[in-house]
Chain A
Amino acid sequence: MEPTPKFDLPQGTLDLLILRVVALGPIHGYAIAQRIQQISRNALQVQQGSLYPALHRLQYKKLLTAKWAESETGRDAKFYELTARGRAQLKSETESWGRLTDVVALFLEDPQGELS
């Protein structure tokens, strides 16, 4: 197996990724991990030790709700869904993330090379 390139997610980013993935529709924890891995083209591997505490935290903050339903394999799984509050949070965090990356990009793509 190829060693996965690892890097640390900036603080709070995992929550944003989870919200984004859950926004696509009701989904259980395992699928969330899979989806993050797929979308990031294997660049991100979310450990269970980070994923589940994050999910529970988001649930108790009422950004996510959860209900038990049958999964594609026929077993009962806990499906997470965005609440209205979660949707609003996702929107505002997406915007601020966009602004942040734009600003960071301004520095990194400095045309005059003054900083390098």
Chain B
Amino acid sequence: MNWWQRLFGSERLEQELDKELRFHFEQQVADNIRAGMTEEQARRTTRLAFGDLSQIKEDCRECRGTLWVTSVAQDLRFTLRTLRRDRAFTVVAVLILALGIGANIAVFSVVDTILLRPLPFHDARRLAWIAGNNGIGALSDTTFRVDAYEEIRRRNQSFQDMTAYMPFFASSDAKMTGSGEPRVLAGVWVAGNFFPMLGIQPQLGRLFTAEETVKGGRPAVLLSYAFWQRQFAGNPAIVGQAITLNNHAVTVVGVLPASFDFGGVFHPGVKADIFSPIIMDDDIRNWGHTLSMIGLLKPGVTLAQAQAEAAVVYPQMIAAHPDWTTDLTIKITGLKEHVSGQLRRSLIVLWCAVGLILLIACANLSNLLLARAAARAKEFAMRSALGAGRSRLIRQLLTESLMLASMGAALGLAIAYAIVLYLSHQGSIALPLLSSARIDAGALAWTLLIASVATVFFSVVPSLRMSGVNLQEALKDGGHGNSSGRKHDRMRAALVVSEVALACVLLVGAGLLLRSFLRVLDVDLGFEPSHAYALKVDFDDGGKADRRGAILQEMLRGVRALPGVEAAGISDMLPLDRNRSWDLMAKGKPYSKTTNYDAFVYIVTPGYLDAIGMHLRRGRDISWSDTATSPPVILVNEAAARREWPGQDPIGREAIGIGTGVTRVVGVVSDVHESSVEEAANPEVFVPITQGGPDGAELVVRSKLPPGALAGSVMSTLRSMNPGQPAVELRPIQQLVDHAVSPRRFFVLLVGIFAGLGLLLASLGIYGVISYSVTQQTQEIGIRMALGATQARVQFGVISRTLKLALVGIAVGMMASFAIAALIASLLFATNPTDPVTFVGMILVLVAVAFIAGYLPARRASRIDPIIALRCN
């Protein structure tokens, strides 16, 4: 019989034990009778010989090794009974703990997913991000030409292999026809070895073969899991069949696993439906900088070694290729660092904030337990008088604390599960890897750890306090006196002060972040996001600029004629969305290979400026009379004008680098935040769509109509001109801004919620202490009132005591806040870490909350009836 059977089969064991001993007893009696005793004598002698039967049984039970379980079970049963009796206390305590622990688990899951866990790839720690131009600038700066990629891949010694994908997704998006409405699929082009190098195995089918990655090979495509589910309802028969992409039949060779989230890792917020192999020998070779590179370091080679090699080898490559215009200052970082490095500080701040919440929760609970200890002093004194040892009492108290902590942890886990589930389905938050956040084994271990630490934190003081109660004092104490409470009160006051101080730090931190966020929202973006919508349009110009001009002019005329449409225009790229850059140089300026001539390029129709809400500062907008045959013109923004024509009027000046020849500046527009809300605008150039090759086309419509109504009429207009216009969503331009600020919104929201939670807990703590002291002093207050103290005087006394506690807490908290604020300075935007508005504001909030928390007990105190209070004793 094993230990478990002994533990759970105890009833049978008891019966057998009883039967065995009884047999012994009867045998003895029988033998005694045989030896000449009477039956009565025999029984009496035997009973004497046996001694204490229950003691024998107990000794036998102890041999089973299951006794401690039974005793723990007893403790648990007793605890449950106690907690059930004190239901209000239990509910409040469990809730406080659940919030504290739940928030901690949720944040841990996020931090673990984004920061701690290796990327979900094979040999993820050896993967490195290889960026051009020192990793600075637009996509066009940090990407590589095809021949550069090939040469780097061939010549380096540090990497086992390298792969690439093309991050200019507008070019890789594909129109699918032949199955229902035509629609645009989000496509990504990847090098043939992309999936094998990352260790991604297809869920179904196979990866690309070598012949599918060369020019003239059979066209092949891989589906993402989500797209496969959405479009083909998870039908495995699709593998091996052809679908029509951009009017070509392409074979679906496989389906990628659900765990592979391309956007989540490389471009948060970007969706990928299909993956096609890059045909390196095709047109892409002449497209300039197109490839983002990833390397797999050889085992044992460090990033620093790879970087050192790059510093030597790549300048040699530049020297050997005078046709490579951009310098190849390569920056190599760990892929993980590239993906989530920028978020490290924010996430650590979040982690600390949530840790503070747990501390406040523990202080609060400690306080509650102390109050309970005072109320139960008599019970414990009684049990101790009846023979319970000190260790037994502490064990009982610890069991209670552990029980509370486990219930809190269980509820907290449920809360965290809900939060993480919610966060992982928020596609609109531009945080990498967030979609793969889960409550996993690590999170469970973390739960266990923080629940145990919390238990120690909140139970040690009350346990020692309670078990050390002086017996006589406690039993003698009538329960109304305040003599025993002094030390208790000081302890509780200290706890409240620390709660207020912690809440203060949280509030100041949240306040600073919130203020930064408001400043970010206030930034003049250079365009007007509200009431503007964008949608991808499709047209077939056969590559001819003239035809393109005619088609688009007609299309815009149709759209502008729709009721409610204020303006409409087309650009190939939208601000805060994708971008590309070309060189822009004032003609006649001396050229230097080390100067950065980058300018973001937008290829637009006349009227686009009005549609997106940009401001033309000087000169004219482009017009339909700027055609492929007329002299090439451009618009520049103020940043470009400042860089290329400092102190001069750029209108009428000539520039080179845009297109093949010389272009003339005809207008200057205000700066637009093109790649980030928080960073200053860069030089930008706007090229007439009739004079440059657009990379896709986004129709921007400005209208006060609700998007639902607008979408229908715009779409039918487009369809009437081009039946092949795919079904696409009308995207509010505001969505681009929201997406760009979503990481900051995410952090502000979370830190704000934590600060609110901290404030709530701290106010509960203040309320608890003051309320308790009022109860204790009922008699004293009664006497004072009987002696003539007014209600106002009594209220004032209680409130001033409250505020005194709060002010001490605030003073300590403010000092800590100054230190903390300096640490988060780099996370702030246009906000001083010692921002007086925030600090003063938060002090006022805390004082107000403390006042309310003190006012309720004060009112109760002032309504004490002296007669009743005095009679009570």
Residues in chain A within 8 A of chain B (CB atoms): 28-30, 33, 47-49, 52-53, 56-57, 60, 68, 71, 73, 75-78
Contact = CB atoms under 8 A, between A and B. Distances in A.
Contact of A78 (B23, B51, B63): B23
A71 B30 CA distance: 14
B72 interface: no
Size class of the contact patch on chain B = 20 to 34
Contacts of A49: 50-52, 55-56, 59
Contacts of A76: 19, 23
Nearest to B53: A48
A48 B6 contact: no
8 contacts: A48-B24, A49-B50, A49-B52, A49-B56, A57-B63, A60-B64, A76-B23, A77-B23
B5 to A, nearest CB: 11
Contacts of A29: 20, 23-24
B49 interface: yes
B63 A53 contact: yes
A54 B52 CA distance: 16
B58 to A, nearest CB: 9
Nearest to A75: B23
Contacts of B27: 30, 73
B62 interface: yes
Interface in B492-531: none
Interface in B259-289: none
A28 B62 CA distance: 21
The residue in A29, A48, A68, A71 that gathers the most chain B C-beta atoms within 10 A of its C-beta is A48
A48 B23 contact: no
Interface in B1-20: 1, 6, 16-17, 19-20
A52 B51 contact: no
Nearest to A29: B24
B60 A52 contact: yes
Contacts of B51: 47-49
A57 B61 CA distance: 9
A106 B60 CA distance: 39
A52 B21 contact: yes
B340 interface: no
A48 B49 contact: yes
A71 B23 CA distance: 10
Interface in B739-766: none
A38 B49 CA distance: 17
B478 to A, nearest CB: 48
B6 A53 contact: no
B607 to A, nearest CB: 91
A71 B246 CA distance: 94
Given A30-B28, A53-B63, 15 more contacts: A28-B23, A29-B20, A30-B27, A48-B49, A48-B50, A48-B51, A49-B52, A52-B17, A52-B24, A53-B59, A56-B64, A60-B64, A60-B65, A73-B27, A75-B26
A53 B62 contact: yes
A70 B49 CA distance: 25
A60 B21 contact: no
Given A47-B51, A49-B51, A78-B16, A56 B63 contact: yes
A32 to B, nearest CB: 10
Contacts of B26: 75
A76 B6 CA distance: 22
Contacts of B24: 29-30, 33, 48, 52
Contacts of A48: 21, 24, 49-51, 56
Contacts of A33: 24
B13 to A, nearest CB: 9
A60 B23 contact: no
B531 to A, nearest CB: 81
A57 to B, nearest CB: 4
Nearest to B62: A53
Nearest to B45: A1
A52 B58 CA distance: 11
A51 to B, nearest CB: 8
A73 B56 contact: no
A52 B16 contact: no
Those 7 A-B pairs whose CB atoms lie nearest each other, nearest first: A53-B59, A56-B63, A30-B27, A57-B63, A30-B24, A78-B20, A56-B60
Contacts of B16: 68, 78
Contacts of A71: 23
Contacts of B56: 48-49, 52-53
A49 B62 CA distance: 13
Contacts of B6: 60
B43 to A, nearest CB: 15
Contacts of A30: 23-24, 27-28
A49 B63 CA distance: 13
A76 B27 CA distance: 12
Contacts of B52: 49
B63 A60 contact: yes
Contacts of B23: 28-30, 71, 75-78
Nearest to A47: B51
Interface in B22-45: 23-24, 26-28, 30
Contacts of B20: 28-29, 52, 77-78
Contacts of A28: 20, 23
Interface string B417-430: 00000000000000
A30 B23 CA distance: 8
A75 B30 CA distance: 12
A52 B59 contact: yes
A46 to B, nearest CB: 11
A10 to B, nearest CB: 19
A25 B269 CA distance: 80
A45 to B, nearest CB: 9
Interface string B177-204: 0000000000000000000000000000
The residue in A29, A60, A71 that gathers the most chain B C-beta atoms within 10 A of its C-beta is A60
A29 B60 CA distance: 13
